[in-house]
A and B are shown apart, each in its own frame.
Chain A
Amino acid sequence: MAKGKRKVPGLNGSSMADISFIMLIFFLVTTSMDTDSGLHVRLPNPPEENVEQDPPKVKQRNTMVVTVNMYNQIMAKVGNSEAKEVGLNELRQLTKDFVANRDNDPKLPELHPVELPAPFGVQNITKNHVISFVTDRATSYDLYFQIENELYGAYNELRDELARKTFGYGYKECNEDQQLAVRQYYKCMISEAEPKNYGNQ
């Protein structure tokens, strides 16, 4: 047996750097992917206390009322038409027809000439329309979210169609002035009433 120093063969570690590099890049990529996304909503100002407010007078043809009960059934009353039960998948088209009112249907919101920024000029739009969304305290959040998603989706689709017709490209590709003009053409008017408590609590 040899005494003293024994030579240990060196390990070839030249590929270690490459392996660690790959892991490093993997972690870098996966962490940047974890961004939060969601539906952006603006809440109305807080209700003023001690002030009895009359609800604003809105003509019936200008309102669309979406009601969800505790059994998660959706009812929609569009303009002057009768209220009826609707499915989630019908809601987007109903909302689009209601907001746009392309054929000046007397049952759908009134069209008013409004001065809009260039390139639109004076246009007939349904400036007084209101979409009212009433939920029950026992409605599921999932359905609430899906309906909000459809309502905002309807506005987004209308804006996108308008942008494509006017500028030749989608709403997302428009610059800020164009987006502002399109937004004023189809102004988002969704109002949420305080939920009713018919159901269990």
Chain B
Amino acid sequence: MPELNTSSLPDLIFSILFFFMIVTSMREVELKVEFKTPQGTELEKLERKSLVSNIYIGKPTREFRAKLGTQSRIQLNDKFADVSHIREYIQDERASLAERDKPYMKVSIKADKDTQMGIITDVKMELRHAWALSIVYSATSR
């Protein structure tokens, strides 16, 4: 039986490996706020990531601290934002979904444990006005 030449197999596998390494290290957004999500027990997994829009709330990272201080800030996409920008953001996110997926849109609030409720409540109020009523408080399991 003739032997199969497998000398190119490592190269092949390597290229798949590199593909995965590159793809996985790609985040959708560069985080400009630091957050440590709270821990809970009644969590459910988020399926279908394409339906989820993220709102990050936390302290600005070190490089922005000089300019913005350590007060909690909201980040939408890759920019700092104000509460008043949320409605527009939700509309954009909703517009990017397919028509049949629109009712299943979810908003994940990734907020730092030490945030005060004021900012969260403002965000929630804006989400209600934008009719994004299905929300998830992102957390890690305890």
Contacts and interface: CB of A to CB of B under 8 A. Distances in A.
Interface of A: 13-14, 16-17, 20-21, 23-24, 27-28, 30-31, 35-47, 135-142, 144-146, 148-149, 152-153, 156, 194-195, 197, 201
A197 B121 CA distance: 12
Interface residues of B, number: 50
A139 B38 CA distance: 14
Nearest to B40: A149
A39 B137 contact: yes
Interface stretch (B7-15, B60-68, B76-84, B92-100): B7-15
A20 B14 contact: yes
Nearest to A156: B42
8 shortest interchain CB distances as A-B pairs: A137-B118, A16-B10, A20-B13, A142-B113, A38-B136, A149-B40, A38-B138, A145-B38
Majority DSSP secondary structure for residues of B touching A: mixed
A145 B110 CA distance: 12
Contacts of A148: 137
Contacts of A44: 128, 133
6 contacts: A17-B6, A20-B14, A43-B133, A43-B135, A47-B128, A140-B114
B52 interface: yes
B140 to A, nearest CB: 7
Contact of B42 (A13, A137, A149): A149
B58 to A, nearest CB: 10
Contacts, number: 141
A31 to B, nearest CB: 4
A43 to B, nearest CB: 4
Interface of B: 6-7, 9-10, 13-14, 16-17, 20-21, 24, 37-38, 40-46, 49, 52, 106, 108, 111-118, 120-121, 124-125, 127-129, 131-141
Contacts of B16: 24
Given A17-B9, A38-B139, A149-B42, 16 more contacts: A16-B10, A21-B13, A35-B45, A36-B52, A37-B140, A41-B135, A42-B134, A43-B134, A46-B128, A46-B131, A138-B116, A139-B116, A141-B115, A145-B40, A146-B38, A149-B41
B128 A43 contact: yes
Contacts of B115: 140-141
B133 A37 contact: no
Contacts of B6: 14, 17
Given A38-B136, A46-B129, A46-B131, A141 B117 contact: yes
A195 B118 contact: yes
A117 B49 CA distance: 34
A188 to B, nearest CB: 12
Given A38-B138, A45-B133, A152-B42, A142 B114 contact: yes
Contacts of A139: 116-117
